[in-house]
A and B are shown apart, each in its own frame.
Chain A
Amino acid sequence: MTLKTDDVRSIAHLARLHIEEDAVDQYVGDLSSILALVEQMNQVDSEGVIPLSNPLDASQRLRADEVSESDQRDKFQGIAPDVAEGLYRVPRVIE
């Protein structure tokens, strides 16, 4: 599978990742060679094999829906780039 420059731009948009315009060609090459490696998977017929998502075939452990954490808002917001009155600030999203 060979990607095109527009493919790379659209994947980067899906990933919300800015890539420099002059680096796009490099990504096209690198990502295409990684996909060529990945396509070796098609050499094998895996029809009917049950997918394995947890290596121990374990299922997600559940717990009672009880509050177990204390309020640490000030501590957590102490490392945020921009906060005001206990809220995280981002550029305006509603005009």
Chain B
Amino acid sequence: MPYTVTEIREGLAAGRFSSSEITRDYLSRIAEHNPQLNCFISVTEEIALQQAQAADKALADGKAELLTGVPLAHKDLFCTDGVRTSCGSRMLDNFIAPYDATVVERIHDAGAVMLGKTNMDEFAMGSSNENSWYGSVANPWNAAHVPGGSSGGSAAAVAAGLVPAATGTDTGGSIRQPAALCGVTGIKPTYGRVSRYGMIAFASSLDQGGPFARSAADCALLLQAMSGFDPRDSTSSENEVADFSAQLDQGIEGLRIGLPKEFFAEGLDSRLATVIETAIGELRKLGADVREVSLPNTGLSIPTYYVVAMAECSSNLSRFDGVRFGHRCTDPVDLEDLYKRSRGEGFGDEVKRRILIGTYALSAGYYDAYYLKAQQLRRMIKNDFQQAFADVDLILGPTTPEVAFEIGAKTDDPVSMYLQDIYTISLNLAGLPGMSLPVGFVDGLPVGMQLIGNYFDEARLLQVAHRYQQVSDWHLQMPEAFS
């Protein structure tokens, strides 16, 4: 069975199998393994088979687009017309989206087949997928461990071969961290590269969509389909989209790669550091010029991020009021009771904590001390990157400080969970593109290496990851239970 988008495209083009056949194969893998992994909130079998049939017709008529006939899944945060879009929350358990997100529309227009909607931390708030109303997701490499979050269902589904690719979103690491913990490849593009229209908002100045797949070459295809200006998102970029696949083979000879010393300091598991250093050695052999850089405000990125993200979340989630859509409490005595109980019942603990902190940070008398201060630090963090990029073409480091932890290990201490995001969140604050690719294992669990690019330099990230994947096979490995 072909597990990469690239192989599926080739097989379909050569007529070795049809989209209907491969779609049925994937649906049966989902039926077999999803009860154990819990990657999916909804499986859209009927839609998948219809779309696969249409794809087979398009292929027969010679009208194939970029992803015609390729089955994939969407994080259940992207609105899908006529299909439940829960965002991992009881609040939206009954929400049938009345329109498609731009990402969903573009991927559909590119000919892909939707297998279903994947599990996630509620409203994308979490780093372990344990905050989902639909239950936690198991890491395919070790079912007692978390897959990461918030796009944990998408990452685990790709890792276990239940889908060849899936969409995700990344507000503080929610594509890169689960990609790392599940041993798959994922990319968060520059803020504004992928439209946020129809992506249920968590923190609007940080949120960005992107793909998961087994390889950089597959991510290039997915990102191509997802990217581009969208007038319906007021922060969408009008910059031209590069041809990601065409630039994959440019090599990395002479490429200047910076290692931020703050990313290799205290807090990083030394066994994981060794794995990353081995991968850096490979890149050196391939001709990269590796040197040290400094991002002095790295330590401040966590407090800064959580103020910005929680403030924006408290504002965005005020739309869930029990009036127009979503959960409504029974027998409200008055309007205030309707708001309070609908929200109190609809949201889980972590979402409530974040709404409360955000409300506090934005309340009268505290705005300057929290939100304004965080926005000032945000600029300082962005400036650190700008300074580093004066000397290097790319920044590289670990994606996470440790490999996947056990389910339940950090649920009692929200702050220790937040510290998992130390290497990923500064990119969201700065709006920079980043990706994670698998580079080895510690204790049988995957290690992710993070590549950070300058603004709109996604092509270069993909190119470096692709070059590494040409000389390594970490990205091709499958957990034994699913191979």
Contact = CB atoms under 8 A, between A and B. Distances in A.
B261 interface: no
Interface stretch (B179-187, B242-250, B282-290, B356-364): B356-364
A50 B380 CA distance: 9
The secondary structure that dominates the B interface is helix
Interface stretch (B101-109, B128-136, B299-307, B475-483): B299-307
B95 A79 contact: yes
A36 B338 CA distance: 33
Interface residues of B, number: 75
A37 B370 CA distance: 12
Contacts of A31: 353, 356-357, 360
Nearest to A48: B376
Nearest to A18: B344
A37 B374 CA distance: 13
Contact of A51 (B322, B376, B415): B376
B192 A14 contact: no
Given A31-B357, A54-B205, A81 B328 contact: yes
Nearest to B412: A30
B179 to A, nearest CB: 21
Interface string A1-35: 00000011001101111111000000100110111
Contacts of B300: 40-41, 43-44
Contacts of B379: 49-52
B14 interface: no
B191 interface: yes
B334 A91 contact: yes
B308 to A, nearest CB: 9
Interface in A23-80: 27, 30-31, 33-35, 37-44, 46, 49-56, 58, 60-61, 63, 72, 75-76, 78-80
Contacts of A92: 334
Interface stretch (B40-48, B141-149, B231-239): B231-239
Nearest to A35: B357
Given A17-B352, A41-B303, A91 B332 contact: yes
A95 B187 CA distance: 55
A75 B205 contact: no
B335 A44 contact: no
B352 A11 contact: no
Nearest to B429: A55
A38 B306 contact: yes
Interface string B328-354: 100011111111110111010000110
Contacts of B352: 17, 19, 27
B323 A88 contact: yes
B17 interface: no
A93 interface: yes
Given A8-B356, A11-B359, A90-B338, A52 B382 contact: yes
A30 B299 CA distance: 21
A85 interface: no
A37 B302 contact: yes
B392 interface: no
Nearest to B204: A54
Q: Which of B336, B360, B432 has the most CB of A within 10 A?
A: B360
A49 B380 contact: yes
A35 B369 CA distance: 12
Q: Which of A20, A53, A56, A58 has the most CB of B within 10 A?
A: A56
Given A44-B377, A44-B380, A80-B323, A15 B356 contact: yes
Interface string B365-378: 00000101111111
Contacts of B418: 34, 37
Given A49-B380, A55-B191, A80-B323, A30 B414 contact: yes
A82 B378 contact: no
Nearest to B326: A81
Contacts of B372: 51
Given A40-B299, A72-B98, A14 B430 contact: no
B359 A60 contact: no
Contacts of A15: 314, 318, 343, 355-356, 359
A79 B321 CA distance: 14
Interface of A: 7-8, 11-12, 14-20, 27, 30-31, 33-35, 37-44, 46, 49-56, 58, 60-61, 63, 72, 75-76, 78-82, 88, 90-93
Interface of B: 94-96, 98, 190-192, 205-206, 231, 234-235, 237, 297, 299-300, 302-304, 306-307, 314, 318, 321-328, 332-341, 343-345, 347, 352-353, 355-357, 359-361, 363, 370, 372-380, 382, 413-415, 418, 428-432, 455
Given A41-B373, A50-B376, A63-B231, 5 more contacts: A54-B235, A56-B191, A58-B192, A88-B324, A90-B338
